[in-house]
């Protein structure tokens, strides 16, 4: 008989939670009728964090996707009036992507949809449980502290 695999169970739970989060966020996006896919939402959020309009290659690198995927996302967002392509002031051969006013308004709606989805997901937890979960998630996101020794079994 094999011993239970607690790490395997945790991995499965994380994957199931991730799928649930995506489903709920997608539903909240659809209810707001923005016509924006989750991937386009991620591109808009990423774009909003730049101080100046980035190049398509910069977006692809930050999103960890191939440049062609960014082109497709930008095409859809540009057709919807959420972003626009602009020439780089220093090199007219380079194209940069910037948010439009409609794109900024969509981001505000997207933030509201994400907040609503998070509230739905976290509703069963107490404030104390949320604080513990937040600390655990920070540890998982940031990785181990380099000053700490590795845990051994």
Is the pTM above the cut of 0.85? no
What confidence tens digit (pLDDT) does each residue in 95-151 have?
999 999 999 999 999 999 889 989 999 999 999 999 999 999 999 888 877 665 555
What confidence tens digit (pLDDT) does each residue in 47-73 have?
999 989 999 999 999 999 999 999 999
85 pairs with which residues across the strands?
Answer: 97
Distance CA 122, CA 115 (A): 10
Distance CA 54, CA 74 (A): 12
Distance CA 153, CA 144 (A): 16
Cα Rg, the chain, nearest whole Å? 20
DSSP designation for 123 = T
83 pairs with which residues across the strands?
Answer: 99
């Amino acid at each position: 008989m094999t011993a239970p695999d607690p790490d395997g169970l945790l991995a499965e739970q994380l994957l199931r939670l991730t799928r649930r989060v995506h489903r709920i966020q997608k539903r909240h996006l659809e209810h707001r009728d923005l016509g924006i896919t989750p991937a386009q939402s991620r591109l808009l959020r990423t774009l909003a964090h730049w101080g100046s309009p980035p190049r398509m290659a910069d977006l692809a690198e930050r999103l960890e996707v191939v440049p062609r995927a960014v082109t497709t996302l930008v095409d859809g967002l540009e057709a919807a009036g959420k972003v626009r392509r602009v020439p780089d002031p220093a090199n007219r051969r380079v194209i940069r992507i910037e948010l439009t006013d409609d794109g900024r308004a969509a981001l505000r709606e997207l933030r509201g949809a994400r907040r609503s989805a998070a509230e739905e997901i976290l509703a069963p937890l107490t404030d104390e449980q949320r604080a513990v979960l937040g600390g655990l998630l920070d540890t998982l996101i940031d990785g181990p502290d380099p000053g700490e020794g590795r845990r051994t079994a």
